[in-house]
Every structure is written in C-alpha cells, then in structure tokens.
Amino acid sequence: MRILSRVYKSCLIPLLFLGLNSHAQIVDGSVTYALVDSKGVEFDAVQADQEKGMFFRRTVKDGNYSNFRLREFDRMIKQHNFTYQLLDDSLISTPEGDYFVVESMRSIASNPEDDVDYRKHPDWWTHRCDHGVNMSYLVGVAKGKISIVKKYFTRCNSEARVFKKNGQIGYEVKDYSKGGDQPQSLVYLLKDGKFIRQENGPYKEER
C-alpha cells in the first residue's frame, strides 16, 4: 500500500493507492507516454494541477511529441478531486494505435454519509476500496485522437497486465467477480483496433 497526498486550495487530502504500480511515464519500444502539466512539465499524482488539468504526452524516438487531453479526466480532477496515474508497463504501441491503462483514486470520508459527492454518484460505490474510490480506464490513441476504450477496466481488488501469447497481444485482468479465493483470468485481445473479451480460466501469477 502506498499513501499519496496532494494539496488543493491549502487543504491536504490523503489518497490511498491499493496495490497499484504507477508512474508518470510508460514506454513501449520507441514510444513513450508521460503525464504533463499545462507547461509541459512531467508530474506524478502528487503534483496534479486541479485548476489547469493534465495532458498525455506521446514522444517518439526522434524527439517529436504530441499532447492529448481527456476532458472527462480534467472534470473529475477539478470537480471531484480525483488523481490519475499511468499503470507501469501497460503501454501497447502498434502501427494502428497506442493503448495504455490509467488508474484514478479519490479519497472519501470515513463516514460516507458526510461525503456529498460520494452519495451523488452510485457508480462509485462498486469501486470503493476502504476509504477511497479506485477506478481504472483503458485508453487508446489512434489517428491523432485520444479516447476512453473501456471505463472501469479493473475493480478494487483486481489488476491488469499486458498479455502476449502465440502472436496475440492484449491485456489480462485478474478478476474476482465470480467469488471465492481463486481469481479468474479475463483476456482482452487486440484485433483490428478493437479488444475482444475472452474468459481464460484460473488466473496464474506467472505466465
């Protein structure tokens, strides 16, 4: 468990990232993505700017770069105090497009009834982890545009990693939705710019 903090209008808000391995920069081959502020400076979740939002910077080997912005994330930062990070080793870069996982976190009051925003958003309840709301997104960049491919990609007690097997590539999610102590493997295989969801049996820590 890591405890992160950020300052909003002179108020210190603790954020709990449960089991996340996240940084401000991810790499796949010659392509790098980083979170940057409005001045182009890389930052981590602790330094995210509530008022000016954040950008995803795509840099290629020759140094050329492009900035992308998701207004939904900016809105969630400003209105609801969410923090965002890139999941380590989650970047898949292909000639057709790039894909990566973004994780978000928002603290809630010890007594949820004291948290007005939390009570107004019932979808947050299914993503509660102790005293925080933890949500993740599968994000894609293709043809010069950025978009959310899948919202709520993982849940509080699940995780995602890049999946490669027999020439196929995609993501594997550790899933507990069926109950019990044995997690199941959900695979999202990338084909022609789309992800195909498949059940993959019991989850194995090492593949």
Of 138, 156, 174, which residue is a domain's last? Answer: 156
Q: Mind listing the pLDDT tens digit for each residue in 78-135?
A: 888 888 899 999 999 999 999 999 999 888 876 777 888 888 888 887 788 877 888 8
Which pLDDT does position 127 carry in this prediction?
81
Are residue 140 and residue 189 in the same domain, yes or no? no
Average pLDDT over the chain reads 82
Are residue 143 and residue 96 in the same domain, yes or no? yes
Are residue 171 and residue 202 in the same domain, yes or no? yes
When pLDDT is averaged across residues 152-161 and rounded to a whole number, the result is 86
Q: Mind listing the pLDDT tens digit for each residue in 6-22?
A: 322 222 233 333 334 55
Are residue 14 and residue 87 in the same domain, yes or no? yes
Domain of residue 27, residue span? 2-156
Which pLDDT does position 72 carry in this prediction?
92
Name the pLDDT band for 47 (thresholds 50, 70, 90).
low
When pLDDT is averaged across residues 134-157 and rounded to a whole number, the result is 92
| Residue-level length of the chain | 207
Q: Tally the domains of the chain.
A: 2
When pLDDT is averaged across residues 28-55 and rounded to a whole number, the result is 82
Are residue 176 and residue 138 in the same domain, yes or no? no
Angstrom distance (rounded) from CA 89 to CA 65:
20
Are residue 105 and residue 206 in the same domain, yes or no? no
Between β-strands 168-175 and 31-36, what pairing exists: parallel, antiparallel or unpaired?
A: unpaired
Are residue 91 and residue 140 in the same domain, yes or no? yes
Are residue 26 and residue 124 in the same domain, yes or no? yes
In this model, does residue 141 exceed pLDDT 60?
A: yes
Report the predicted TM-score, pTM, of the whole model to 2 decimal places: 0.83
In this model, does residue 188 exceed pLDDT 80?
A: yes
Are residue 164 and residue 141 in the same domain, yes or no? no
When pLDDT is averaged across residues 184-196 and rounded to a whole number, the result is 94
Angstrom distance (rounded) from CA 44 to CA 36:
9
Element (H, E) at 119: helix 116-120
| Residue 75: strand, helix, or coil | helix
Which pLDDT does position 24 carry in this prediction?
63
Are residue 169 and residue 85 in the same domain, yes or no? no
Are residue 138 and residue 167 in the same domain, yes or no? no
Are residue 128 and residue 199 in the same domain, yes or no? no
- Strand blocks (E) in 89-193: 92-93, 98-107, 128-129, 132-142, 145-151, 159-165, 168-175, 184-191
Which pLDDT does position 157 carry in this prediction?
75
